Structure 1
Amino acid sequence: MPVAAAAPPIVFITGAFVTTACWDEWKQFFEAQGYTCYAPAWPHKAAPAAELRRQHPHSPIAQSGLADVLRVYAEFIRQLPVRPIVIGHSYGGLLVQLLLQQDLVAAAVAIESAPPLGVVAWSWPMVRAVLPMLGLFSSVRTTFLPTFAQWQRYIANGLPLAAQQHTYEHLLAPESKQVIRDVLSLQAHIDFNRPHAPLLFLAGGNDRLMPAVLNRANYRRYRHAGSIRAYQELPGRNHALLGQPTWREDAALVLDWVASLEPPPLSRCV
C-alpha cells in the first residue's frame, strides 16, 4: 500500500568498494511505494564503476577518510525538510549508526553492517578478507581494489559465475585505505547507552565479510531500554545481499518494519 504523502524520505547509504548503483533496484522498489528516495555518492565516487576503476591506484578516492564520508551524508540530511529514514549496507551500516548517534534520522536500518569501534566477533574468513583492505604495508595515498577472486570468495560467494562477474563489473570501485583503517579509530565510536531512533539490523547467513555473528554482537551492544531495536538473520544471503535474487523479499521486510513503527513526529534536523 502506498505511504502517506507526509512519510519521511529515505536516504540510502552506500558501502565501501561500490557505487550507488547497488541501490538502483531498492530505490525503484521504495519509490513505487510512495517514498522519496536519495542515494548520495561518497566523495569522488559520483561516476560509473568502470570509470572509477580506470583511476586506480592514484584515484582521488584515496584522500577520503571516515569523517569526510560521514560529513557528506550529515550535510545532505540537514538540507532535507524532515529527518529521513536511513538504510545503509556494510560500511554504510556503520555510517547509519553514526548518523543515528547525531540524532539526524527518524529510523535506521543497518544491513550487514561494518562494526563500530570495540565491537568484535571472531571469524577467520572476515579476518582474511579485511586485512588486505587495510593496506597496512602500503601508502594511503593509493587506493585498494579487490581482485575478482576476492570478490568471489568474500562478497558474491554462492552466486553463479555470471552473476559474480556482472556485479564485479557493474559495482566494484577502488577504495580509500584510510576509510577502512578509520573503523579502528575513535571516529567509529558509538555511545550504546544513549537514546536513539528505531534501529533494525539485518545479517546475512552466508556473509563472510561482515558475518552474522558480528552483526548480532553489534545489535546486542545497544542497551538503552526505551529505544526500539531489532535484529534478524536472513538465511542464504551473502555480502552482496542487495543484488541477490532475494533482494525484493528483503526490501519488503524493511518496508514492513518501517510501516510497523508508530509514525514519529516529522521534524527538521538541527
Structure 2
Amino acid sequence: MENNKILFITGAFVSSNCWDEWRTYFEASGYTTMAPSWPHKNASAEELRNRQPDAAIAANRLQGLTDYYAEIVRQLPEKPILIGHSIGGLIVQLLLQRGLGRAGVAIHSVPPKGIFTLKLSFLKAGWGALGFFTSTKKSYMMTFKQWSYSFANGMTTDQQTTSYYKYAIPESKLIVRDTIGNAAKVNFKNPHAPLLLTSGSDDHSIPASLNYSNYKKYRNSNSVTDYKEFEGRNHFVLGQPTWQEDADYILAWITSKIV
C-alpha cells in the first residue's frame, strides 16, 4: 500500500496513548501510524497529573498547536490521512484548509468558530475547562466527577475509573477558549480533501447536533464531506467497548475515498 501514513491528532484533556488500540488496528490493515503528543505532554498520564498545575501546558494555544501539527505533516514525504478526536478533529479541519491532508476524519469534533449550542450538557461539560475568573497561568485538571459526566457517561463506574487514571491529564484553559476565536476559523466554502465527520448520540461534551451543524456548513464547498452519527457513543468514544465498530466504519470510508 502506497502513501499509507495516518497521523492521529489527540484531543484535549487526554493522553496520546488513547490511540494505542486504534494504531494497532490500522497497522494491521497495512497503514503506518503516528500519534505525537501535544507540546509539553510527552509523559505518562500519571506523571502529567502529578505536575498539576503545569505552567508549560497552561501556555499552549490553538494556533501554535495547529502549526505544530502542520510542521509534522510538512516533514513527511507525502500528505498523510488525518484522524483527530475532539479538538484534534477541529485541527484536522484546520489542516485540510491548508491543504495538508490527503483525507480527514474528525471524530466528535469541537466545531470551528461560529458553531455553537445552548444545550445544557454542552455548557455543563465545558464551563469548568474555560476557567473564567481563574488564572490562565495554571492548567486545568478535570475531576473524576467531571470526567464521568463529560467524557465517560453511560459507562460503568469501574470503566470510568480505569479510563480516568489511564488517560486524563491537565489542560490549557487558553486552548479551550481559543476554540471560539479566530484561531478556530474555517472558510467552509474552500475546496478540501475528503472529510468525514462522526458524532455520538450520547456525547455530553460535543452533542451530535453540533457535529451535524458543522457538517452542514460544508454544503457549498463542492468537496466530499460525509457525516455519520453512532448510537450510544459518549465523548470517550475512542476507548468505549464499541470503538472497533467506529474504526471499521472509518477504515471502510477511507478505503472508499482514497484511490
TM-score (norm 1): 0.94
Would you say 1:33 and 2:33 are equivalent positions? no
Partner of 1:83, secondary structure, is: coil
Misfit runs of 4+, over 2 Å: 223-226
Cα distance in 1 for residues equivalent to 2:44 and 2:82: 23
Kept in 1, the 8 Å contact 2:129–2:176? The answer is yes
Cα distance in 1 for residues equivalent to 2:227 and 2:209: 12
Partner of 1:150: 146
Cα distance in 1 for residues equivalent to 2:90 and 2:13: 14
Query: How many corresponding residue pairs?
Result: 259
Partner of 2:245: 249
User: Which residue identity does 2:69 align to in structure 1?
Assistant: Y
Kept in 1, the 8 Å contact 2:106–2:196? The answer is yes
Partner of 2:76: 80
Partner of 2:3: 7
Kept in 2, the 8 Å contact 1:197–1:228? The answer is yes
User: Which residue identity does 1:232 align to in structure 2?
Assistant: K
User: Structure 2 unaligned runs (5+)?
Assistant: none
Q: How far is the alpha carbon of 1:249 from its aligned partner?
A: 1.1
User: Which residue identity does 1:207 align to in structure 2?
Assistant: D
Q: How far is the alpha carbon of 1:58 from its aligned partner?
A: 3.3
Q: How far is the alpha carbon of 1:199 from its aligned partner?
A: 0.3
Partner of 1:106: 102
Kept in 2, the 8 Å contact 1:19–1:171? The answer is yes
Q: How far is the alpha carbon of 1:122 from its aligned partner?
A: 2.9
Q: How far is the alpha carbon of 1:7 from its aligned partner?
A: 3.3
Partner of 2:223, secondary structure, is: coil
Q: How far is the alpha carbon of 1:226 from its aligned partner?
A: 2.5
Partner of 2:158: 162
Cα distance in 1 for residues equivalent to 2:244 and 2:11: 19
User: Among 186, 211, 215, which residue is 2:182 paired with?
Assistant: 186
Cα distance in 2 for residues equivalent to 1:76 and 1:172: 24
The percent of aligned pairs where both chains have the same amino acid is 47
Q: How far is the alpha carbon of 1:225 from its aligned partner?
A: 4.7
TM-score (norm 2): 0.98
User: Which residue identity does 1:87 align to in structure 2?
Assistant: I
Cα distance in 1 for residues equivalent to 2:73 and 2:235: 26
Partner of 1:51: 47
Q: Deviations over 1:136-183 (max 9, x none)?
A: 101110000111001111110011111100110000000011111111
Partner of 1:231: 227
User: Which residue identity does 1:147 align to in structure 2?
Assistant: T
Kept in 2, the 8 Å contact 1:117–1:183? The answer is yes
User: Which residue identity does 1:237 align to in structure 2?
Assistant: R
